[in-house]
Chains A and B, each alone.
Chain A
Amino acid sequence: MSDLTLPIDRQRPLDPPDEIIELSRQASMHRMRYADGHLGWLVTGYAAARAVLADPRFSNRPEKMHPAFPARAALAQNGEFRMPPGMFLRTDPPEHTRYRKLLTGQFTVRRMKMLEPRIEEITNACLDDMEAAGGPVDLVQAFALPIPSLVICELLGVPYEDRARFHEDAKVLVNLETKAEDALAALGSTMAYLHGLIQRKRKEPGDDLLSGLIESGDLNDEELTGVAFLLLLAGHETTANMLGLGTYALLANPDQLAAMRDDPAVVENGVEELLRYLTIIHLGPFRLALEDVEIEGNLIKAGEMVGLSLPAANRDPSRFPEGETLDVTRPASGHMTFGHGIHQCLGQQLARAEMRIAYPALLRRLPGLRLAVTPEEVPMRSHMSIYGVHSLPVTW
C-alpha cells in the first residue's frame, strides 16, 4: 500500500472517496506517500485519530512537515513563505497555550448564547432580502456566507464592507491547487490589510475582540495580525460551507429536512449529525511525530507524518453504526469535525449557535425550498481544504 497518495476525488458528493471507504474497511491506519515522496501514514479509524490528536508527541508546527498535495510542496519549498507568528493553530505548547488562553474567554458557551439575538437578526435580514429578491438565488451568496461573515466581522471589529477583498484571498488560500506565488500574494494582501486595521484600532479602539486584545497588551502588532487572520479565515470558510453543504444534504434527504424544520427538539442534535455526516474538513489535519509513537500496534517513527481522514473517522462503524446514513436523531456527539486534543476548534460554540439558528429559520421561512438545478449540477469544492458547495442555486 506504500504507493497510496491521499485520495481526494469523490464519486458521490456527500460520501468520502471510495478509496478511503475501502481503506477504512481494511484497517484504521495505512502507509501513505506524501507529495514530496515522504512515506508517512493515513489514519481512517476513529480511535486511532483521537489517539493521535490527543498525543503531545505529535507536533502541529509547519517547519518540518511533509506536504500532502503537490502545490503545497512547492509552497513549502519557497523560501519566502513564513507562518505569521499569531497563526497559533500551527504551533505547539507552550506557544500555543499562550495564544489560546488569551482567546478562549471570548468564545465560551455562555458568551455565544449572548450573541444569539444578534445572529437571529442577521439571519432574518438575509431571509428578508432573499424573499424580496425572489428565487432563484445562490444560497451561498445570499445566506450561507453572509451570516458567519457578518457575525465574525462584528465580533472581531472588521468593517463588513471590506469583506469582498478578503473573500477573494480566502478562496485562493484554501484552494489546494493554488500556485505558491498566488498563495503568497493572497496571504500578503490580507495580512497587509489586517495590519493596517490593527494600527487604526490602536488609535481608535472599538468595543470588539481585536480592540480588547490590543488593550490587553499581551501581543505585538505582528502577532495580532496573525491572530486576526486565523480567526477571520476560520470564521468564514467553515460555517459558511456547513450551511451551504448542510442545506444541500437536507434537500437530498427530505425526511431529515422535515425533522429539522418541524421539531425544535431535534435541531441541537441535528446540527451535530450534520457536522458528523458532512465533515467539511475532508483532508487532514496532519501531524509530525516528534519521537517514536506506537498507536494500535503501528510504530510511527520520529519525523514521520500522520494525516487524518476525519470523514472516515466520523463514519467508523465501531463508533457510529450505519454512519453512511444521515439521521438527525442518532446520538452524534463525539464526532471529530472540530478535531480533538489541544487544537480542537476555538470557535466551535459560535459555529453551533449559527447553525442552530440558521437551518430552522431558513427551512421555516421558505418551506417550499428546493434546488433550482439538478443535484449533479451543483459545483462541489473537491479541491479545497474545506469541502462544501461553490454555489447552491435554490428557489421556493
Chain B
Amino acid sequence: MEIKADTTVCIGAGMCALTVPDVFDQSDDEGTVVVLRGEVPPELEDAVRRAVTLCPSGAISAS
C-alpha cells in the first residue's frame, strides 16, 4: 500500500492521526500530516483506507 500526503492541501484536522496513530502524525508547527512509515502492515490497511475517507480536505490517498 502506497500512501501519498499533500501538506499544501492539508488543513490539520487530525482525522488521520486520530484514526491510525501508527501511520499518521501531525507536524508541531502547522499541524499538517506526517506519514510515519512507508510500509503499511496488512492489518492496518483498512484503517488507513478509513482515514483517507475521513480526511476532510482530500490531502491523503492510499493505493
Residues of A within 8 A of B (CB): 53-54, 100-101, 103-110, 333-334, 338-342, 344-346, 348-349, 352
How far is the CB of B22 from the nearest CB of chain A, in Å?
A: 13
Known: A344-B56, A348-B13. A104 touches B30 (CB 8 A): yes
Asked whether, in the complex, the Cβ of A110 is within 8 Å of the Cβ of B50, the reply is: no
Chain A nearest Cβ from B33, distance in angstroms: 10
Q: Is the interface of A mostly helix, strand, loop or mixed?
A: helix
Do the beta carbons of A104 and B12 come within 8 Å of each other? Answer: yes
What residues of A have a CB within 8 angstroms of the CB of B50 in the complex? 333
Is residue B39 contacting chain A, with contact meaning CB distance below 8 A?
Answer: no
A108-B12 CB under 8 A given contacts A339-B56, A344-B56: yes
- A-B pair count, CB < 8 Å, reads 65
Residues of A within 8 A of B17 (CB): 108-110
CB contacts (< 8 Å) of A53 on chain B: these are 56
The secondary-structure label for the interface of chain B is loop
In Å, the complex CA distance between A334 and B57 comes to 13
Q: Which residues of B contact A346 (CB under 8 A)?
A: 12-13
In the A-B complex, the 6 residue pairs with the smallest Cβ-Cβ separation, listed nearest first, are A104-B12, A104-B31, A344-B56, A108-B26, A109-B17, A105-B31
Q: Looking at the assembled complex, report how far the CB atom of B20 sits from the nearest CB atom of chain A, in whole angstroms.
A: 11
On chain A, the residues within 8 Å of B27 by CB distance are 105
Q: List 20 A-B contacts (CB under 8 A).
A: A54-B57, A54-B58, A100-B11, A101-B30, A103-B31, A104-B11, A104-B30, A104-B31, A105-B12, A105-B29, A108-B12, A108-B28, A109-B17, A110-B26, A333-B54, A334-B53, A340-B56, A341-B56, A341-B57, A349-B14
Residue in A104, A333, A339, A342 whose beta carbon sits within 8 Å of that of B19 in the complex: A333
Query: Is residue B25 contacting chain A, with contact meaning CB distance below 8 A?
Result: yes
B56 pairs with A107, CB closer than 8 A? no
Q: Which residues of chain A come closer than 8 Å to B14, judged between CB atoms? A: 107-109, 348-349
Min CB gap A118→B, angstroms:
19
A99 CB → nearest B CB, Å: 11
